[in-house]
Structure 1
């Protein structure tokens, strides 16, 4: 079985300020850099090496990956965060209530120039499937974003399973998936900070 390690980027300035950060970007904080380096140490200590590495095209993701490993990597637009339209950079207090059926923000951001949850999920599934279908991709690291990662999780797990297995996706959390016969399987969530 192939393995995918899907990681959320480290803490950023916008995370610290509780600002909506999707298509917009902000730099990693000192804490974000330290946490990402800690994940790199964790991988080394557990003998986890990667055939290939990928990140979103956003700086906070590629900077996180460079703190984790020095190996070459490819940046892909398909791994970018959910686009929140005109809400970008605004206070997180402006986020809407979750759609009770979809357990996400649903289509809310479409009317404001952003994406729907389904659009984000579709591009994440497509991008990660294309990655894992390539030859010599037995163990892969991909660095993405909170909303994008959770929408990918919801393509595999039911809402109840997602809530139980991934209750909160902290910065620098790693989600481990198996990939076999063209299908992903959720294996575990690795929260390095909680393990130390």
Structure 2
């Protein structure tokens, strides 16, 4: 038996639409982003969640509320905020156009790349996070070790709150979801951008975890 995690990326925000790094900064959901939350809720509407959580960033909280609004299985009506499942902190790059950030990061690598997605594909999540930290002149940006220490604590928190067989909703963020996939040795999945409102399902055991599905925005449960 295991804890069944349903981890959803928040709906589209105005920063997403404008292709800006978001991290710990916040921007409201667009109308499309609201629909992402409602659609995810409809797909998950028949699942009774024993716990419902979001990061403490507004876009995740609001998406979780839209998901729970469409739940028909007597799940919690309001998410509990867990800061451990925040996005990576991008420091000085928060709010900056992604093309500008990509150009800056290119100065710290010997091999050229065209997009931030290519950057992650070529380097892997850990080195990508470390490069962002290195390139931040104030060193505010989280590196891989800082980010994973935080997220690992979040998983231990979930284990302490829940039991075998529990269904748990967590609304989190794109880079965090990709980083988790990478830490669970699914580098093939981590190279893919996570769609707003898409789902990663994880079987969480006391000492291990297995990804059952990734970037799923079509399955109705």
Place the TM-score, normalised by the shorter chain, in its bin.
0.7 to 0.9
* Separation in structure 2 between the aligned mates of residue 62 and residue 14 of structure 1, nearest angstrom: 16
Task: Show structure 2 runs of 5+ residues with no match.
Answer: 70-76, 107-118
- 2:132 aligned with 1:109: yes
Aligned to 2:109: none
Structure 1 length-normalised TM: 0.88
Q: CA deviation at 1:77?
A: 1.2
Q: How much is the aligned-residue C-alpha RMSD, in angstroms?
A: 2.0
CA 1:182–1:134 in 2, change beyond 3 Å: closer, same or farther? farther
Aligned to 1:57: 56
CA 1:151–1:118 in 2, change beyond 3 Å: closer, same or farther? farther
- Aligned residue pairs total 190
CA 1:162–1:151 in 2, change beyond 3 Å: closer, same or farther? closer
* Separation in structure 2 between the aligned mates of residue 49 and residue 195 of structure 1, nearest angstrom: 16
* Separation in structure 2 between the aligned mates of residue 171 and residue 135 of structure 1, nearest angstrom: 27
> Given the alignment, which residue of 187, 190, 193 partners 2:212?
187
1:145-195 Cα distance to aligned partner (Å, 9 max, x none) = 0011111111112423544xxx33111111000012332111112532x45
Aligned to 1:121: 148
1:125-151 Cα distance to aligned partner (Å, 9 max, x none) = 220232123244711000110011111
Aligned to 1:76: 82
Range moving further from structure 2, 97-106 or 31-40: 97-106
